[in-house]
């Protein structure tokens, strides 16, 4: 049977929406989970995990994080990843070079944290009084917060937990010695394989784009990326369909009968791996999905935080959800202009909304 786009679409949905398992196993299978602070009606990391972790509730990742072998850090984007994946990126060399004065401040803060075990940015700011600085958005931030962010990015610190959403830092262990080029190549290959396993199957342009995004996680290996992409194309499974080259892990067969999406309706976060690659989204479902949270309200077409609506292996619309007075509110839109006239769809959609209520703690 000739491989076609239908095979790839079913494969993409079924492999990503695997049978729910434990939290650590789910994150291990995903490779990493993208984080986003917007709650509509919950944060992206929670909306991603609720489909893949048995009995998952909103906020569970943050609650359990201090006891799990996870790290919060940059990868192709910011989020959570297993500690063994995190170690592949470090020691990380930031693109912005610090002055000797900045390094002196960082070492002083490191000694301060070593004495206390874990610190809130307020404690650092109160002790050192670093003052204010301009942040990435042109506003004003505490210089201590920016310094802690930089120390975290460079691998001097790790996020120990969050207090009220604010990162609390502790010292990070591990070897700080730079790796040689041979090891760097091997690590870059391993990191790219993690990305591919999360988002497969990938059109060629998206594979190259994701490797570009890896500069957030490993800027020190920017010059090695072209060779890494060439090696990836040689070792991955591949096929050309309708003029597009596609890639996936070589040990998987997109035509296999086991890649069969279930009958559930699912509301997916804009950052879900099924949705994340907008190029692939349009190839699979024939319409353009856009994340409009930062679009002025009068210009929005789908809504502030539209959740793509997946049924079987088709994304047929979207929904905007909110909580008011302890009740889940929902507004749906459909690509074809109306909901399917199918009792099975209505039943599956109601079941998804009930799962959402339980996930949000609204079942009472």
| Residue 140: predicted pLDDT | 45
Is 272 exposed, middle or buried, given 0-12, 13-18 or 19+ CB atoms closer than 10 A? buried
Domain range list for the chain: 100-171, 265-360
What is the number of residues in the chain? Answer: 364
Q: Which two tokens stand for residue 110?
A: 């490191």
Q: Does domain 100-171 have CATH number 3.30.420?
A: no
At residue 141, what are phi and psi to the nearest 5 degrees? -135, 160
**In the predicted structure, residue 138 carries a pLDDT above the cut 80:** no
Q: What is the pLDDT of residues 153-192, one digit of tens each?
A: 999 999 999 999 999 999 998 777 889 999 999 999 999 9
- Alpha carbons 186 and 253: distance in angstroms, whole number: 25
Question: Taking residues 75-103, what's their average pLDDT?
Answer: 94
**In the predicted structure, residue 131 carries a pLDDT above the cut 80:** no
How many alpha carbons fall within 13 Å on the CB side of residue 57? 8
**In the predicted structure, residue 136 carries a pLDDT above the cut 90:** no
């Amino acid at each position: 049977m000739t491989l076609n786009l239908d095979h790839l679409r079913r494969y993409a949905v079924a492999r990503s929406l695997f049978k729910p398992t434990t939290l650590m196993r789910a994150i291990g299978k995903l490779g990493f989970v993208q984080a986003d602070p917007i709650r509509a009606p919950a944060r992206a990391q929670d909306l991603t995990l609720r489909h893949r972790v048995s009995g998952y509730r909103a906020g569970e990742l943050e609650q359990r994080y201090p006891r799990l072998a996870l790290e919060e850090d940059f990868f192709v984007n910011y989020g959570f990843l297993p500690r063994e994946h995190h170690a592949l990126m470090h020691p990380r060399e930031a693109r912005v070079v610090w002055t000797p004065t900045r390094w002196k401040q960082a070492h002083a803060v490191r000694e301060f944290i070593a004495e206390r075990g874990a610190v809130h940015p307020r404690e650092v700011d109160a002790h050192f009084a670093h003052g204010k600085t301009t942040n990435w958005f042109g506003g004003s931030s505490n210089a201590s917060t920016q310094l802690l962010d930089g120390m975290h990015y460079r691998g001097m610190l790790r996020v120990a937990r969050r207090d009220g959403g604010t990162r609390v830092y502790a010292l990070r262990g591990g070897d700080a010695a730079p790796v040689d080029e041979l090891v760097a190549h091997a690590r870059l290959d391993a990191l790219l394989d993690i990305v591919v396993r999360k988002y497969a199957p990938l059109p060629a342009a998206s594979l190259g784009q994701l490797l570009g995004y890896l500069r957030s996680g490993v800027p020190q290996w920017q010059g090695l990326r072209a060779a890494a992409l060439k090696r990836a194309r040689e070792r991955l499974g591949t096929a050309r369909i309708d003029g597009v080259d596609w890639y996936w892990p070589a040990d998987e067969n997109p035509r296999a009968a086991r890649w069969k999406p279930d009958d559930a309706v699912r509301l997916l976060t804009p950052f879900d791996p099924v949705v994340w690659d907008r190029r692939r989204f349009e190839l699979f479902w024939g319409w353009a999905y856009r994340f409009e949270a930062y679009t002025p309200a009068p210009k929005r077409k789908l809504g502030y935080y539209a959740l793509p609506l997946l049924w079987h292996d088709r994304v047929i619309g979207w929904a905007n959800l909110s909580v008011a007075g302890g009740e889940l509110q929902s507004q749906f839109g459909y690509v074809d202009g109306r909901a399917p006239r199918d009792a099975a769809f209505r039943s599956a959609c109601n079941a998804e909304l009930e799962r959402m209520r339980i996930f949000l703690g609204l079942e009472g």
